[in-house]
Copies of this chain bind each other. A is one copy, B any other.
Amino acid sequence: MPTTDSPMRTLDEHRAAALALAAPLPEVVVGLDAALGAVLAQDVRTSERLPRWDNSAMDGYAVRADDVRDATAGAPVTLRVVADLPAGTSGTPTVEPGTAARIMTGAPVPPGADTVVPVEDTDAGTVTVQVRAAKAIGSHVRRAGEDASPGDLVVAAGTLLGPAHVAAVASVGVADVPVHRRPRVAVVSTGDELVPPGTPLAHGQIPDSNSWLLAAAVRDAGGEPVRLGPVGDDPDALRDLLRGLDDDTDVDAVVTSGGVSVGAFDVVKAALRDEPGVDFLPVAVQPGKPQGLGRLPGGTPVFALPGNPVSSFVSFEVFVRPALLRMRGLADVERPTTTAVVDDGWRTPPGRAQVMPVRFVRPYVARDDRGTAGPASLSTAPGTADARPPHVVRATAGGSGSHLVARLAVAEGLAVVPAEIEQVAPGDRVTVLRIAP
């Protein structure tokens, strides 16, 4: 039945409803090799001081500062070399007055020594060594505990683990990393007209692209897609499929595309018509007005998106992605935004927010100034980097173009135009969600 006369939810209201379906998934323990890109579920703390012991910050000689207090280039002090101390050494000879130990960066400072003389300030001797410069006591020694004390926080729960976080966890001897499980998300595209890409097409058939779009978007959001599409326009078969997914404890969410509109063959709507936990309703947004949202009887969140590729794409971005990021355990579920100047201009629908795929005309920052063909200079002088706002134009020329999947590929951002705006003019500023890396 037509639902266009129902009161419409706002974009923000529907986002809030979608996000309310999501909660951080339970903790699992993974190895360091699987930690990158996961979200830490518990604080990682150090149980020891870091560094664990006084150690050398330089390659050189561990000495007693008092022994070399009068050393100069013209009047070097000669010490007897009593040991070689590579990093990893466990022998700890005592440095008595008049002696030195050859020491490498990172090696424990031996008993008796209080100072390190860099090799550059010596003759690099191996039996005796001439020290050519005095050093303040403690020079070039990294003190035990100067990085962290026992119990100090190293990486906080909720952190998205990048390479440096993985290294920090490893550096405190933690090999089993408590992270939130990643969401497994079933993806179902619907429509009798859809055939797998690469299959010869009969008249009226098109290749399925939405299941690939949504599966890739799930993976890009840090989830694990289970791609099940395309399925045909048979409500009973789809209902059975969705029930099976709801019963599968390995499936954390279901995303469908198509079949949610006012047409006579809207399969997702028909399949879920009798589910009290799932609502189909219009949202005041373009594209993406018809939406289904809720929980299947077993509690699995279901996001029923419209089938036009651009509508599916935009709906995923603004409604599904934040929910998946929350399931992963992230507190900040937002895309980064920037303010951009519009170079073209377009009409927007009265009373509906608009989410317009755009591309940047002038790169976001001073990329072009550095060039891309040759090796770039990183040594840009402070103050010269470009801080002007970027400019954008629509990615899909010629209207909202919700079917123009081939042109969607150039989108680098989504301009969000509030419902009360009816016209975006050249020179206007818009808020852009940055969706390209």
Contact = CB atoms under 8 A, between A and B. Distances in A.
Instruction: Identify whether the interface residues of A are mostly helix, strand, loop, or mixed.
Output: loop
Interface stretch (A67-75, A131-139, A213-221): A213-221
Contact of A147 (B364, B407, B417): B407
Contacts of A377: 12
Interface stretch (A238-246, A271-279, A295-303, A423-431): A423-431
- How many copies of this chain does the complex contain? 2
Interface string A1-39: 010100000111001100110000000000011011000
Interface stretch (A178-186, A247-255, A367-375): A367-375
Contacts of A201: 52, 173
Nearest to A32: B212
B332 A367 contact: yes
B376 A334 contact: yes
Contact of A217 (B163, B173, B307): B163
A366 B398 CA distance: 30
A403 B436 CA distance: 34
A309 B160 CA distance: 20
Contacts of A416: 378-380
A162 interface: yes
Interface in A261-314: 261-265, 307-309, 313
Interface in A111-166: 119-120, 124, 142, 146-148, 152, 154-155, 159-160, 162-166
Interface residues of A, number: 156
A403 B194 contact: no
A292 to B, nearest CB: 16
A164 B379 contact: no
Nearest to A206: B52
Contacts of A308: 105
Contacts of A313: 163-164, 167
A170 B197 contact: yes
Contacts of A142: 403
Interface in A217-240: 217, 219-220, 227, 232-233
Nearest to A124: B2
